[in-house]
Homo-oligomer: A and B are copies of this chain.
Amino acid sequence: MSQNTTVNRRIVLASRPKGAPVAENFRHEESSLPALADGQLLLRTVYLSLDPYMRGRMSDAPSYAPPVALDAVMTGGAVSRVVESKDANFKAGDWVVASSGWQDYATIDAKLVKKLEGAALEHPSLALGVLGMPGFTAFMGLLDIGEPKPGETVVVAAATGPVGSLVGQIAKIKGCKVVGIAGGEEKCRYAVEHFGFDECLDHREAHLDKRLQEACPRGIDVYFENVGGAVFDAVLPLLNTKARVPLCGVVSQYNAQGLPKGEDRLTLLTSTILKKRLRIQGFIIFDDYGHRYPEFAKQMSEWFSADKIKFREQIVQGLENAPESLIGLLEGKNFGKLVIQVGKETD
């Protein structure tokens, strides 16, 4: 299947998942191209971003963002080209990024659309990775909440993912020791050799807690939390006094149904926050830091041009593969920033 100029293929939420999403939670539909009003743009999707937060939008449990309605197009950021513009600031052919969803075409208010610039114009899919939302998440969470100082130890999981890999690289630029955690020996080797982590531990191997303690002989000063679960459990006892924990995701929990049985460790966590004087702070990148995007764009562009930032993408061809790819992402099957190529780059 590929894009044509008369049909809008789109993927809608057919039902809400119980636990891990399955193919039946999604439905492929076709419609005619949407009509265009003044001030709007018609966009053709080229690259669709897949990200862990999408799992949350599939549920109707209270969260920081409203859920995707049943039968509505799945939400998602995408890099697109302008097909038609009814706004003076854009013209056909422009490269843009917007939250335009899992579909070939979208109409959207020009005010909600950002033009690609700088390095992203030469490599447009990066506007969904290191030069976009995941990069911004890593940058602000690590620097504004984590406040890493030279010589401190920074730990981050999903170390080859777009957020984790950038957290590690920025922490190295700031003079920290960086220990990553990832799933599988290949990813771990990659984190060290390609992204420059000092060490990277395979969470699939036994005794993560002991191996993490050995890798962090001076304890942990910043834990950038994006996975939760067993990694958090291993990190908590190793956090130093006054450690900072920016928290942007708990992907290991997104498919959980109910709470695990056993001891209630809520008071263990609050007691630890007190005894170690921890700062744990959740953030949603554009809600909390939208006004500081230019600061990120400028600094990241400088680092990128100076070849200080590496990235890894996994580009899957075809909108029809988005559901299966998201299901795999939530199981850690991706390796690098997962992007669906929905259409050609050229018009």
Contacts and interface: CB of A to CB of B under 8 A. Distances in A.
Nearest to A273: B282
Main secondary structure of the interface of A (DSSP, over half): mixed
Contacts of A274: 64, 247-250, 282
A157 to B, nearest CB: 13
| Most chain B CB within a 10 A radius of its CB, from A258, A275, A278, A287 | A275
A166 to B, nearest CB: 19
A280 interface: yes
B64 A267 contact: no
Interface stretch (A8-16, A76-84, A224-232, A329-337): A224-232
A63 B249 CA distance: 28
Interface string A276-292: 11111111100110000
A214 interface: no
Contacts of A263: 258-262, 264
A314 interface: no
Interface size classification for chain A: 35 or more
Contacts of A270: 225, 228, 232, 247, 250, 253, 269, 280
A267 B228 contact: yes
Contacts of A249: 274
| Most chain B CB within a 10 A radius of its CB, from A262, A270, A275 | A270
Given A270-B225, A270-B250, A62 B275 contact: yes
Contact of A64 (B225, B258, B275, B287): B275
A266 interface: yes
Contacts of A232: 266, 270
A271 interface: yes
B269 A269 contact: yes
A98 to B, nearest CB: 23
A55 to B, nearest CB: 12
Given A62-B275, A228-B267, 6 more contacts: A248-B274, A261-B262, A261-B264, A265-B266, A273-B282, A274-B282
